[in-house]
Amino acid sequence: MSTPLKLSGFALGLAAVFGAAYGVGRVVGPVTPAAESRHDTATAGHGDTEHPGGGSAAAHRPGGLLVSDHGYTLTPVAAPAGEFAFQITGGDGRPVTAYDVAHDKRMHLIVARRDLSGFRHVHPDLGPDGTWRVASPLAGPGVWRAFADFTPTGGDPLTLGIDVTVPGALTSRPLPAPATSTTVDGYTVTLAGDPQPGRTAELALTISRDGAPVTDLEPYLGAYGHLVALRQGDLAYLHVHPDGEPGDGRTRPGPAVTFLAEVPSAGTYRLYLDFKHGGVVHTAEFTVVAGGVHADDIPPATRAPSPPAPTGSAEHGEPGHGHD
């Protein structure tokens, strides 16, 4: 039982730090430097908190990359066809049955194929034995990543991830090109803002239909929009929430939903915006390139050196010494 006790202390510290530094609507993914130092203290021997060359909180490991973390493990459970079931086991090996509500739910289950297609965000039901069950969101064959985003009572918010294979003929889909506008279910959604590694960036998503701004978005899970970002390559998971919430006196129900997002690295991300209108939840998707640095933008003098010539010594190679 030492792990849950240790986590309790950590959770109190973390809550205090978040309360002081981050109000509602801030990034949920990376933790603050202050929270991270508590994290280090509370989990001695936790060897993954160094981030050489990063120097910023955003370099902290994002969520969803591990199937087991902080003593909690995501374990799929055999289920009837058409159902997806799993448990979260605690440090004692038993299924966790006590969860805190976060964003209106005790469990958020997000799935996407490894090629970033097929995104779904659903809310399973918890049985008394600690088994979560939901109509399977895995729509067809492929290798899927399933993310369980939850807060065990007495613990800190956690996202665990696991691969699940659905057998069948695989068709890999290329990632759609970066774009600042997309359509879904008759809505047009535009994206303004550039996510930046290591810094908080404002992302504004503006929703219209038939050319008219949508100004009567409905609250969904306590917000006018929910944004999940998955990093291409490893499907690192970031759950971002809007800057402001319904009823706070300043947040309007559209047409724009604004988020404060910080990505953990440069790279390509797929953004998934859930919003509710007309009683239906819609999901708009975008591909974005964070950092915005492309090989062609880098001056020749700072490009990585070419591989050493077959006859040269490795020590001899210096960047930009005449190969241009």
Residue 110 or 236: which CB sits closer to Cu ion?
Answer: 110
Q: Measured from the CB of residue 306, what is the shortest distance to Cu ion in angstroms? A: 48
Beta-bridge mates of residue 115: none
Q: For the chain, how are helix, strand and coil distributed in percent, rounded to 5?
A: 15, 40, 50
Contact 138, 109 (CB under 8 A): no
Residue 85's CB is within 10 A of a number of other CB atoms, namely 17
**Look-up: residue for tokens 């590694």?**
197
Q: Measured from the CB of residue 137, what is the shortest distance to Cu ion in angstroms? A: 11
Beta-bridge mates of residue 125: 133
Give the Cα separation of 290 and 292 in Å (integer): 5
Residue 101 or 179: which CB sits closer to Cu ion?
Answer: 101
Which range touches Cu ion (CB under 5 A), out of 17-25, 103-111, 161-169, 265-273?
Answer: 103-111
* DSSP string computed for 34-53: HHHHHHHHHTTT-TT---TT
Residue 12 or 134: which CB sits closer to Cu ion?
Answer: 134
Which range touches Cu ion (CB under 5 A), out of 20-28, 90-98, 105-113, 203-211?
Answer: 105-113
Q: Return the structure tokens found at 276.
A: 């509710």
Residue 108 or 270: which CB sits closer to Cu ion?
Answer: 108
The amino acid at residue 296 is D
Q: Measured from the CB of residue 122, what is the shortest distance to Cu ion in angstroms? A: 7
First to last CA, the chain: 62
Residue 157 or 198: which CB sits closer to Cu ion?
Answer: 157
Q: Return the structure tokens found at 34.
A: 């202050």
Check residue 108 for interaction with Cu ion (CB under 5 A): yes
Which range touches Cu ion (CB under 5 A), out of 6-14, 100-108, 257-265, 295-303?
Answer: 100-108
Give the Cα separation of 103 and 117 in Å (integer): 24
Q: Measured from the CB of residue 161, what is the shortest distance to Cu ion in angstroms? A: 15
Q: Measured from the CB of residue 49, what is the shortest distance to Cu ion in angstroms? A: 27
Residue 203 or 228: which CB sits closer to Cu ion?
Answer: 228
Note the Cα 24 to chain centre separation in Å.
17
Residue 38 or 108: which CB sits closer to Cu ion?
Answer: 108
Residue 108 or 276: which CB sits closer to Cu ion?
Answer: 108
Residue 21's CB is within 10 A of a number of other CB atoms, namely 13
Q: Which residue's CB atom is positioned nearest to Cu ion?
A: 108
User: Taking CB under 5 A as the rule, which mask of x and - marks residues 55-94 in contact with Cu ion?
Assistant: ----------------------------------------
Find all residues with CB under 8 Å of 63, minimum gap 6, and list them.
Answer: 29, 147, 149, 158, 159, 161, 236, 237, 238, 239
Which range touches Cu ion (CB under 5 A), out of 21-29, 80-88, 108-116, 260-268?
Answer: 108-116
Q: Measured from the CB of residue 107, what is the shortest distance to Cu ion in angstroms? A: 8
Check residue 26 for interaction with Cu ion (CB under 5 A): no
Sites of contact with Cu ion (CB under 5 A): 108
